[in-house]
Chains A and B, each alone.
Chain A
Amino acid sequence: MNPSNPPQAAEYGGDEVSAIVLDPGYSTTRAGFAGEDAPKSLIPTYYGKYNADGQEKLVFGDDVFVTPRPGLSIHNPIGKDGIVEDWDMAERVWEHSFTSRLTGTKAGNPFQNGLNDVSPDELPTEMEVESEEKPLSDSPLLMTEPGWNPAKAREKTIEIAMEKWDTPAFYLARSGVLAAFASGKASALVIDIGASNLSVTPIHDGMILKRGVQHSPLGGEYISSQIRAIFKANTPQPITITPHYLISSKSAVEAGQPAQAKYKTFPADKAPDASYRALLEERTLSEFKECVVQVWPGPTRLSAPSATGVSNEDMARTTPGRPFEFPDGYNQVFGVDRFRAVESLFDAKAAIPDPDSSFPPPTPAQTIPELVKASLAGVDVDLRPHLLANVVVTGGSSLLYGFTDRLNHELMQMFPGPRVRVTAPGNTSERRFGSWIGGSILASLGTFHQMWISKKEYEEHGPNIVEKRCK
């Protein structure tokens, strides 16, 4: 093929219209241009709020992690169940996600940018109009939503996109569907484990089956709470997590010895809010999850006896532990505990009780196998074997070491008859941004452009149109 010729559009069905794909999550918000393989803009959904000079100021993006400003408190516009609670702030955060990296700020009026000397009387009057420029006026916008998003929230979303951002065309797609598209499947059972939620979504022909959508709060934050419970009951001494911003210097200590570190102290009026510390602790914990936490590979549960008669827990004890050093220098090798932190995703009885945790102990119905079972029970029986043969795993928390193996075993045990096949992209970014990538594929397809809800249609039918079009 002549490299200077572009591939025929019909060959891959692509036709890029510089659409923006926005995939808002509980922990991070992903945005980028359709047709690319990873979101250009990845910001935390958390935002900071503080008072300076008597004015309330807001911090967006990665900046929230950086400076412990006095009184800085961290908030999240999205509720624990993945549905937006604070619409004003959600809009601000989402807007930041694409204006910061993608659309940029428009070139302003040259008279106003401070580089030119203009006499005050020369200032043109239409300047006021220009400042009302909306951020998305030339890009169609594809947004994602969880499968259980209520109709009110969907209408509110299109309202923001159309009226506040002035997008010429809009579409709202379910994240489960997009994750399936990212794996190249139109029908699949998508198991999505994010920061706040664990969801199972059956998809047929590119549409979710509403009666099969199941979700439970056993996501990344729940795992963090379990890890905290483990730290509390740690054997040499309970571990407290001190985030980096509170450490001014540290020296190396032996494993299990108390930390030798100099701490920063903030006077009460200069100190950031407790929520700031919680956010940064969460960062350390996610590092811990990446380095140490492991899912018991199965095939049986951690509490069950293995084939040789030795209990699985004893087997786990014999495997070499993994060391982890905390920001204050304390370090320890974690043995069987690293398996226990996530065991309750599969076995509700294995949950580590912690009275201080904000998560109630999980019920058996919230575990992954039960969710899958309930989800399959909600769809037609003819479809079930096909869905089991197309299980797609996505979401950042699914990157836990050994997760897919265990999931495979659990599903095979639960459904010994049909063929179970778990598809999980090995690439980290493909797993984390599964639904964004699916959106990127979808919005760059030539055949998709008839699906957009245009501004004109929105004006004709009102926000209710989203229910009719984005089925």
Chain B
Amino acid sequence: MAAADVRDMLDLPAEGQPRPHKKQKVVEKRPEGITRELYALLGERAPPIAINENKYKGRPKWMNKLRVRPWSMTPFTNNARSDGLVLNHWQRKHESARPPVPAPAPAPSESQMEVDQPKQEEKEDVPKLPEQEYAFAKYNVKPRLPRRYTDDEYNRHLQSDDWSREETDYLVGLVTEYDIRWVLIADRYDYQPRMDTQPDANALVPAKHHRTMEQMKARYYYIAATMLSLEHPPSEMSEAEFDLHEKMLKFDPDRERDRKELAALQLNRTADEVREEAMLLEELKRITSNEQNFITERRELYSRLEVPISVGNTTMYQSSAGLSQLLQTLLQADKSKKRRSILGDGAIPSPAGQTPTTAGGLGRAETPVSQGANKKGAIASKETNQMVRTLTPAEEAKYGVQHHERVSAGVQFRSDRAQRLTQAKSNVQTQKLANALSELEIPVRLFMPTERVCKDFEKLIQSVNMLLDARKVSEKVESEIRVLEAAKMERERKLREAAGITGPSADPEHPHVKKETEDGDAGVLGHSTAPQNTQGAGAQQGDGNHKRSASVLSGASDKSNKRQRR
């Protein structure tokens, strides 16, 4: 009979059965870690909490099939010990290199007996191997100490008024015991001088000498250095030995003591002092960084000084549009530089961008020196200085503080301004100015364009300009004179030709006439001041022997000439 028939008879749905069955099968996938029986008890419903915990994976399954490798409680000795103490630890039994198994007379516990059984079997077929070194014995290290002195050596080299032989022995013993760890040695140092002369302990005990760590160190280093040099004279020492010897000999207990006193002071600062110190440190950091900035700035300036000045270029910046364009490019450069410094590359700042940043951000700490170099810094420092205190005029002069009625925007260089003065409208004039300056041995670009120098330079340029003007006028006048003279000569010649007789009589008067004509000419222009004029002309001639002053003075006389003409 088929199952379908039964179902039919019992009025069960034909397909109803397999479906839940199938479902169950899916659910049946039992999570790992739960036994099948337990899972079956749970039924269909999944438990509200996860039963299978994340347990340690353990060994992989295939390993379960391997033979269990036995471990045994094995006695061992430690080579670092001198007494041959035997301790027991668990160790894997190696088939090849098994440590020897002495019978340690173990307690007759049951587990021990089980273990003992195979052990005894194996003992027979594995031959005894030589005992292997205890793995940790190698860590038993001691520092290398100099040889202990002998009596003779002590008496000859190591005598000291402060240290008795007994105390020295005690110290060296302690150093050996505590492996030259001075903190511990100083902590445990407790030397009681032996009372050989006073047998009863209650007798007056001399006040116990308290030794400081420095005293101990000094004594020990002295001993060690002496022993070292006894062993090898300094000439034969290896480099390391010599270094050590030097170091030990140069130990200065007083200095060490002072250092420790300072350290103690440093440690016992009050909260206020700590705060103040932190502040000062901060300040110092800022100052040094400013200094650094300043140095790079100055270097930049110097590098700019070396660049040949492009004369024609500045004209494009003289209009407001040109200036704003310049500012734009500067800002651009500044921005890109900032971005670069964020990226960690702030070592070489671009020449253009540096100045505005410093002037804006770090104005307060600007050192006085920087004022000479950059004007913006001067302004900023002036502002803060006013804030802090008012300076006397002497101090203002000293620090280069200036007051401006109107501060133009942007950065200006004093040297640029001075430079501009040397540019005249015409190239010829500029050339002349340059000639004059070079004649005075003044460089075209000022070396140290301080305020005062600039002012003087300005004055100088002004007067040079004036002189040049005067000279121009005088040249003009001279040429006119020459033309007029030529005309006069012509006229006279014509007159003579016309007269035809008075030739020789006129000749001796010629120089006089020439002089006269000069004067007369001047007289034509200004009759009343004629005598003065001759004086000036005389002076001109008298000083003519020195070229430079002559030209300058001739300018001056020309000037007076000009004044007279007006």
Residues of A within 8 A of B (CB): 3-4, 6, 9-10, 13, 15-18, 106-107, 138, 140, 168-169, 204-205, 207, 209-212, 379-385, 413, 415-418, 445-447, 449-450, 452, 454-457, 471
Residues of A within 8 A of B108 (CB): 107
Q: Is residue B302 contacting chain A, with contact meaning CB distance below 8 A?
A: no
13 examples of A-B residue contacts, CB within 8 angstroms? A6-B92, A15-B136, A205-B184, A212-B187, A379-B183, A380-B182, A380-B186, A381-B260, A384-B267, A417-B269, A449-B87, A449-B136, A454-B81
CA distance A9 to B109 in the complex (A): 28
Residues of B within 8 A of A10 (CB): 135
Interface centre among A140, A168, A212, A417 (most CB of B within 10 A): A417
| Chain B window 179-214, contacts with chain A (Cβ cutoff 8 Å), 1 for yes, 0 for no | 001111011100000000000000000000000010
**Closest CB in chain A relative to B27 CB, distance in Å:** 33
Q: Are A211 and B187 in contact (CB under 8 A)?
A: yes
Q: What secondary structure prevails in chain A residues at the interface with B?
A: loop
**Closest CB in chain B relative to A450 CB, distance in Å:** 4
Residues of B within 8 A of A383 (CB): 183
CA distance A97 to B136 in the complex (A): 31
Residue on B nearest A169 in the bound complex, by CB: B85
User: Which of B86, B90, B134, B184 makes the CB contact (< 8 A) with A209?
Assistant: B184
| Chain B window 308-332, contacts with chain A (Cβ cutoff 8 Å), 1 for yes, 0 for no | 0000000000000000000000000
Residues of A within 8 A of B63 (CB): 4
**Closest CB in chain B relative to A459 CB, distance in Å:** 10
Q: Is residue B270 contacting chain A, with contact meaning CB distance below 8 A?
A: yes
Residues of A within 8 A of B240 (CB): none
CA distance A7 to B84 in the complex (A): 27
CA distance A27 to B87 in the complex (A): 32
**Closest CB in chain B relative to A123 CB, distance in Å:** 19
User: Which of A382, A384, A385, A446 makes the CB contact (< 8 A) with B136?
Assistant: A446
Not counting A382-B260, A449-B136, A454-B81, a sample of 10 additional A-B residue pairs whose C-beta atoms are within 8 angstroms of each other reads: A10-B135, A15-B136, A205-B181, A207-B184, A209-B184, A209-B187, A417-B269, A449-B85, A450-B78, A454-B85
Chain B contact patch, size range: 35 or more
Q: Are A450 and B137 in contact (CB under 8 A)?
A: yes
CA distance A6 to B59 in the complex (A): 12
Q: Are A4 and B59 in contact (CB under 8 A)?
A: yes
Q: Is residue B408 contacting chain A, with contact meaning CB distance below 8 A?
A: no
Q: Are B58 and A210 in contact (CB under 8 A)?
A: no
Q: Are B92 and A449 in contact (CB under 8 A)?
A: no
Q: Are B274 and A417 in contact (CB under 8 A)?
A: yes
**Closest CB in chain B relative to A11 CB, distance in Å:** 11
Residues of A within 8 A of B87 (CB): 17, 140, 168-169, 449, 452
Q: Are A450 and B267 in contact (CB under 8 A)?
A: no
CA distance A418 to B269 in the complex (A): 9
Residues of A within 8 A of B84 (CB): 456
| Chain B window 249-279, contacts with chain A (Cβ cutoff 8 Å), 1 for yes, 0 for no | 0000000000010011011111100100000
What 9 pairs across the A-B complex have the smallest Cβ distances? A446-B136, A450-B80, A454-B85, A416-B271, A17-B87, A416-B274, A209-B187, A381-B264, A417-B269
User: Which of A18, A384, A471 makes the CB contact (< 8 A) with B88?
Assistant: A18
Residues of B within 8 A of A138 (CB): 88, 106-107
**Closest CB in chain B relative to A78 CB, distance in Å:** 26
Given contacts A381-B267, A385-B267, contact A17 B187 (CB under 8 A): no
Q: Is residue B57 contacting chain A, with contact meaning CB distance below 8 A?
A: yes
Interface residues of B in 137-168 (CB under 8 A from A): 137, 139-140
CA distance A141 to B89 in the complex (A): 15
Q: Are B107 and A106 in contact (CB under 8 A)?
A: yes
**Closest CB in chain A relative to B191 CB, distance in Å:** 15
CA distance A458 to B287 in the complex (A): 67
Q: Is residue B83 contacting chain A, with contact meaning CB distance below 8 A?
A: yes
User: Which of A16, A168, A385, A446 makes the CB contact (< 8 A) with B85?
Assistant: A168
CA distance A159 to B197 in the complex (A): 36
Residues of A within 8 A of B140 (CB): 447, 450
Residues of B within 8 A of A447 (CB): 136, 139-140
Residues of B within 8 A of A385 (CB): 267
Q: Are A3 and B187 in contact (CB under 8 A)?
A: no
Residues of B within 8 A of A450 (CB): 78, 80-81, 136-137, 140
Q: Are A456 and B274 in contact (CB under 8 A)?
A: no
**Closest CB in chain A relative to B267 CB, distance in Å:** 6
CA distance A446 to B133 in the complex (A): 13
Residues of B within 8 A of A418 (CB): 267
Q: Are B187 and A16 in contact (CB under 8 A)?
A: no
User: Which of B85, B107, B184 makes the CB contact (< 8 A) with A204?
Assistant: B184
**Closest CB in chain B relative to A215 CB, distance in Å:** 17
Q: Are A9 and B263 in contact (CB under 8 A)?
A: no
**Closest CB in chain A relative to B110 CB, distance in Å:** 8
CA distance A382 to B187 in the complex (A): 13
Given contacts A10-B135, A447-B139, contact A210 B267 (CB under 8 A): no
**Closest CB in chain A relative to B71 CB, distance in Å:** 9
Interface residues of B in 30-89 (CB under 8 A from A): 57-59, 63, 78, 80-81, 83-89
Residues of A within 8 A of B181 (CB): 204-205
Q: Are B187 and A210 in contact (CB under 8 A)?
A: yes
Residues of B within 8 A of A207 (CB): 184
Given contacts A13-B136, A210-B187, A383-B183, contact A415 B78 (CB under 8 A): no
Q: Are B59 and A204 in contact (CB under 8 A)?
A: no
Q: Are B109 and A107 in contact (CB under 8 A)?
A: yes
Interface centre among A168, A413, A416, A456 (most CB of B within 10 A): A416
Q: Are A3 and B267 in contact (CB under 8 A)?
A: no
**Closest CB in chain B relative to A248 CB, distance in Å:** 41
CA distance A186 to B83 in the complex (A): 27
CA distance A413 to B136 in the complex (A): 45
CA distance A413 to B271 in the complex (A): 7
CA distance A381 to B268 in the complex (A): 10
CA distance A455 to B83 in the complex (A): 9
Residues of A within 8 A of B183 (CB): 204-205, 209, 379-380, 382-383
Given contacts A107-B108, A379-B183, contact A16 B90 (CB under 8 A): yes
**Closest CB in chain B relative to A18 CB, distance in Å:** 7
User: Which of A106, A380, A416, A454 makes the CB contact (< 8 A) with B270?
Assistant: A416
Residues of B within 8 A of A445 (CB): 136
**Closest CB in chain A relative to B142 CB, distance in Å:** 12
**Closest CB in chain A relative to B8 CB, distance in Å:** 59
Residues of B within 8 A of A140 (CB): 87
Residue on A nearest B275 in the bound complex, by CB: A416
**Closest CB in chain B relative to A27 CB, distance in Å:** 30
Interface residues of B in 213-271 (CB under 8 A from A): 213, 260, 263-264, 266-271
Residues of A within 8 A of B267 (CB): 381, 384-385, 415, 417-418
Residues of A within 8 A of B269 (CB): 416-417
Residues of A within 8 A of B136 (CB): 9, 13, 15, 445-447, 449-450
User: Which of A13, A210, A454 makes the CB contact (< 8 A) with B83?
Assistant: A454
Residues of A within 8 A of B186 (CB): 380
Residues of A within 8 A of B271 (CB): 413, 416
Q: Are A380 and B85 in contact (CB under 8 A)?
A: no
Residue on A nearest B140 in the bound complex, by CB: A450
CA distance A210 to B185 in the complex (A): 11
CA distance A6 to B69 in the complex (A): 12
Residues of A within 8 A of B59 (CB): 3-4
CA distance A151 to B213 in the complex (A): 25
Residues of B within 8 A of A3 (CB): 57-59
Residue on A nearest B58 in the bound complex, by CB: A3
Residue on B nearest A17 in the bound complex, by CB: B87
CA distance A210 to B80 in the complex (A): 28
CA distance A140 to B88 in the complex (A): 10
CA distance A15 to B139 in the complex (A): 14
